[in-house]
Structure 1
């Protein structure tokens, strides 16, 4: 297991156990006020500049249906922050639900803009074997927004508990209203951890401002994840503690590329 770094802030072992229980039962847990709002503000400003740059680069944004995009964050300041990707609260929850070594495989942003619509209800991963065998939590996404998430700007929607149901059964229960599609509203500093196997969708952003949602992906060490990638510059990578170097599945380069062509295009199951 990767050992957490730093102090577990204001959260107790009881809190972390509860988050892990929520995650196992519902497929999601929400951690209120995890990150400092000044940190989020710094990320938001840097992201705004990055998004403008990527808009002008061929392949700089991956399409996510109408008026919705995905982009990989470069491993530079302020995004390359140990207190975020190896946050002790996040690590504390992951260590309670992953029963083998895990790795970080993804750092990106989901971005609906004005004109976006409801996504088709989907999963981001397939079951390990079949729908008839319950898949354990073998991959998790940690999300936190760079703006407040309201009913108007495209909240993430998910049906709790559908990660342990066959896909068709989950869709049927959503259609009949037995399991609701729940919108998750978030304030600056909030974070959520969720399984990509739970049935979910993006909702429309009806405002004139983008709604950036950071996604950090973690998975069991044996999972093959070719659609997402991390690239770290050697001097930064070698400055990290050994346990964090082992945790990050990445390509190490002498110099980060100036342009990024997104390859994470197919994302629905």
Structure 2
């Protein structure tokens, strides 16, 4: 009997192994139908209200060039959801990639609006040592959209395989067309797992509606990540199983602050 890991779509251990092969080779894999569309709808509705509130708070949004913003999600319903940040399909892949303990360090949203432009092609992290040493996947971004991602509303773009070559070599190959800059289209419920070391960029949103993309960041336990943070209320944190508490690198407080000043402003390498 083939063991399956249930999401909305069922994936076997062989499927997860294949996703990991894609991730190691290309720096990215896309998994269809991981989350229920109703769950995504709840997140989208809550995000719309949160974004409006943050717009009225000094420092409540981190600018990401023209008409593009980043904000950290609060650990409240519906965002504080073990079915999302500890989803068995996602965990199955992370556990195949990270050979030591790993921690979750980030829960935020990138959102371009009409008027946004192409970002400069970049990495989200520096290499561990030097560009000439290929390092294992020590950090991963797990992305999922709150709306359908089309060619018109700012799809994430990435050059496959550029996580294992020097940055300047990757930029040259992108410029000559040897490695294409590929757009990734997604439906609500789909999940994309990628290495932040692959060269990538945001593209313009040419529609009248925002395109929110959630990012959950997971890293090897020894990696220092001062630009992102998680803050959980004590009651919620203590209600989690011990394994999940150990997985969260977070500040535990008695009550969440009412206002959030974003610090993750510099993000390009």
Q: Deviations over 1:158-184 (max 9, x none)?
A: 000000000000000000000000000
Deviation at 1:8, TM superposition (A): 3.5
Alignment correspondent of 2:90: 90
For the residue of structure 2 that corresponds to 1:11, the secondary structure is: strand
For the residue of structure 1 that corresponds to 2:41, the secondary structure is: helix
Alignment correspondent of 1:47: 47
Alignment correspondent of 1:220: 220
Alignment correspondent of 1:29: 29
Q: Deviations over 1:82-134 (max 9, x none)?
A: 00000000000001111110000000000000100000000000000000000
Alignment correspondent of 1:153: 153
TM-score, structure 1 as length reference: 0.97
- Give me the whole-angstrom Cα distance separating, in 2, the residues matched to 1:178 and 1:99: 32
**Structure 1, gaps ≥5 residues long:** 1-5
Alignment correspondent of 2:167: 167
For the residue of structure 1 that corresponds to 2:214, the secondary structure is: strand
For the residue of structure 2 that corresponds to 1:92, the secondary structure is: helix
Alignment correspondent of 1:125: 125
- Give me the whole-angstrom Cα distance separating, in 2, the residues matched to 1:173 and 1:267: 23
Deviation at 1:7, TM superposition (A): 4.8
- Give me the whole-angstrom Cα distance separating, in 1, the residues matched to 2:55 and 2:206: 20
RMSD: 0.9
- Give me the whole-angstrom Cα distance separating, in 2, the residues matched to 1:238 and 1:95: 24
- Give me the whole-angstrom Cα distance separating, in 2, the residues matched to 1:19 and 1:257: 38
Alignment correspondent of 1:62: 62
TM-score, structure 2 as length reference: 0.97
- Give me the whole-angstrom Cα distance separating, in 2, the residues matched to 1:66 and 1:14: 42
Deviation at 1:135, TM superposition (A): 1.7
- Give me the whole-angstrom Cα distance separating, in 1, the residues matched to 2:130 and 2:67: 33
- Give me the whole-angstrom Cα distance separating, in 2, the residues matched to 1:159 and 1:251: 35
Alignment correspondent of 1:238: 238
**Structure 2, gaps ≥5 residues long:** none
Count of paired positions:
264
